[in-house]
Amino acid sequence: MADSARISLASEPLALGALDGRYRSAVAPLVDHLSEAALNRDRVHVEVEWLIHLTSQAVLPGTRPLAPEQAAALRKIVTEFDAGSVAELAEIEAVTVHDVKAVEYFIGRRLGGIGIEDLTALVHFGCTSEDINNLSYAVGVKGAVERVWLPAARALVEQVAAMAEATREIPMLSRTHGQPATPTTLGKELAVTAWRLGRQLDRIGRTEYLGKINGATGTYAAHYASVPTADWQEVSRTFVEALGLTWNPLTTQIESHDWQAELYADVARFNRILHNFCTDVWSYISIGYFAQIPVAGATGSSTMPHKVNPIRFENAEANLEISNGLLDTLAATLVTSRWQRDLTDSSSQRNIGTAFGHSLLAISNVAKGLERLDVATDVLADDLDHNWEVLGEAIQMVMRAEAIAGVPGMENPYERLKDLTRGQRVDAARMKEFVSGLGLSDEARDRLLRLTPATYHGIAPLLVDHLSQ
């Protein structure tokens, strides 16, 4: 490619990353919570609410509570935050070379129009930048998780649970170590995944989003130097809690980010379980247990027209891996800071949206992939019928029970079944012949003769009920 073409392309406002380009529509809901613009809006929100809090609590002598219309006008700065606001903030920051200071000046410009220009000194009062940042990130992450990511994840778990209910009675050959093993049902196996994912969502739903507002090194030094009569800890606690967050009473300059590390570890664990599910579904598609419903007009391969590729699950695998790479890094790095403050967390946290974006994209792909699956019951049944040797476990255990009950001739059941079944296929006729010649009691013999690989799955269908308990 010519250099001129490169220069021309780079000058256009094109997306560098896939989330802001190819996959923009799938992750768009996160933009309102975890984008740079959303962070700046949340900074404005925190600064505005801090100003209102200080005046409503009469924390500083000489201040007055705002009139309702003044408080409403202040809050409109947040609700009317738009592309023009983003551009104005960028212009201010180009001069201040400091993002939070730009927010302070942005708000200060508007106080005259509200009739409270005399309160300009209250904007950012007693605050270090990280007082605003930590609360803004907490508000943004909380909104993203509770309003976007969790609803999508819960919908996916409900989708898997519904599939488990619909397929609870469909028998399926298990494979432990990749080898034929005691049968189960498709629904029970799907229920295992729904149960595992649901537990992680319960943990994530209980996340505490911590925040602090206590000054440059967490000591309230400037607060008490300026207004020694105020109960600044109570002012801080009530403000943080009013934002819907949990107050952290002990910090350095930064809120320690431990809650973020805990959250990201839980989300990463959800991702890993979902990744495991994707590889299992992919494998079941590969052996024909699931048939994929073709999408009209879609191309599976550029050269092989017969192919319907499991691309939704492959796409999800890749995005879950990328998400976890970021989440693991965030969880590991955010809990460390040199002495009272360093800026590594500032750069790290700018990737939170990307981490959640790749996870959300994966969830979307899995949901769409599951919608295009049909259960191939004939393949499942045929697989079971070609693996009668899996009844060896049941026969051995019945022989043990018979021996305990005093039935003679039940010695060495494991060894006898191993000789019959290990490393070789046994058909229905051979298995029934073997059972008939064991000398079992009539009841035990007849019970085993009625058993088939398709019916040897214990209470697997009933276990699905745990999803609704």
- Which residue segments constitute the domains of the chain, with CATH numbers given? 26-127 (1.10.275.10), 138-376 (1.20.200.10), 388-452 (1.10.40.30)
3-state secondary structure of 411: coil
Across 94-105, average pLDDT: 96
Backbone dihedral angles phi then psi of residue 285, each to the nearest 5 degrees? -65, -40
Give the global pTM. 0.93
The least confident of 94-103, 259-268, 366-375, 424-433 is 424-433
Annotated active-site residue 177? The verdict is yes
What was the pLDDT predicted at 305?
41
Give the integer Cα–Cα distance in Å for 418 and 411.
Answer: 13
Contact between 270 and 153 (Cβ < 8 Å): yes
Token pair belonging to 204:
């994530």
- From 177, 302, 347, 468, the catalytic residue: 177
Statement: residue 94 has pLDDT above 80: yes
DSSP 246: E
Share of the chain above pLDDT 70, in %: 94
The residues pairing with 246 across neighbouring beta strands, listed in sequence order, are: 210
The least confident of 60-69, 305-314, 411-420, 454-463 is 305-314
Contact between 173 and 380 (Cβ < 8 Å): yes
- From 226, 301, 436, 466, the catalytic residue: 301
